[in-house]
Amino acid sequence: FQVYAETLCANGGVVVPNFFGPKRLAEMRVEFERLVATNPPNREAEAERSVHIATSRFSETALFSKLLFEPSLLDLVQYYWGKPVVLNGTGGTRYEPAEPEDSGSNQWHHDGKRKQARVFIFMSDVPEDGQCTKYVPGSHLTYHYDVSHSRLKQDEVLRAGKPACCAGPAGSIAIFDTNCAHRADRNTGPRRDTWNYSFRAPGPISTDLSPVPTLHPDVTKTLNKEQRRIVRIV
C-alpha cells in the first residue's frame, strides 16, 4: 500500500495491477454489459465508436454503487488527499477500436477542477500501446491553479516530461489527479471498458463542480455514517 500511495503522491498517478479478483471482475463485466445494452442512443458517441454511461445512471447499478466503498480504494484516494474525500462524479466508458480526430478528451488537457482524484477500474485488458489514458507524471503540480486554460499544446506537454500510461490487466485500477496533463489515446487497439469514480475534498466548491451522484437505493439503505458522508447524504 505504501509504495502505491507514495507513487501516487509523487507522480499524480499510479496503477495497481489485479486489484480485483476473477469473481468480482466477472460480476462487473456482466453488469457493465447490461448498462451498455440499455444505454440511450448518442450519435456523437456512436460516431467515435464509444459508449458513455452517464452519472445519472449510477442509481440503477447496485454493484458499482457498492464498489465505490471498497476500503483499499478509498484508503489510497484519502492518503493522496491527506483528508476525507467526497464522491464528485462517476460513470462508465467503452472505447471500441477507432482513430477519431484529436478533439475533446482526445487532446492534451487538464480538467480545470484543481485537485481531483479519478479512479478507473479496468474491466478489459488495457495494454500500453492500446487505448490507455496517458498523463505526464508530476504535472499535477504545474496546473494546480490554472482553471481558465485547460487545453494544452502537445509540444508544451512533452517538454514537461515523458507521458505514462494508465495500463494494466483486467481487474486493475488506475488512480490519477485530473489536474495532470492527460489525454485519451484512442487507437485501433483492443476494446477498453472502464468504470470511474472522481473524488474531491468536501466543501462548497466540490458541490458546485458537478451534480452529486445518487446511489442505488438498496445500497443507500446499508450505509454507515462515514459512507453517507462520502456521498453527502445527511
pLDDT tens digits, 75-129: 999 999 998 999 999 999 999 999 877 665 678 877 777 788 999 999 999 999 9
Helix (H, G, I), strand (E, B) or coil at 137: coil
* 112 or 200, which is more confident: 200
pLDDT in tens, 117-131: 999 999 999 999 999
pLDDT in tens, 42-57: 998 998 899 999 999 9
The pLDDT confidence band at residue 206, using thresholds 50, 70 and 90, is very low
Contact 35, 60 (CB under 8 A): yes
Distance CA 102, CA 11 (A): 25
pLDDT in tens, 176-196: 998 888 898 889 999 999 999
pLDDT value for 74: 96
Which of 157, 172, 201, 219 has its CA nearest to residue 25?
172
Q: Is the pLDDT of residue 205 over 60?
A: no
What mean pLDDT comes out for the span 216-221?
Answer: 96
Strand ranges across the sheet with 173-177: 13-16, 173-177, 117-122, 192-200, 86-95, 50-53
The pLDDT confidence band at residue 148, using thresholds 50, 70 and 90, is low
Grid cell listed for 226: 462515514
Helix (H, G, I), strand (E, B) or coil at 183: strand
pLDDT value for 30: 98
Which of 124, 16, 32, 143 has its CA nearest to residue 70?
16
Distance CA 178, CA 166 (A): 12
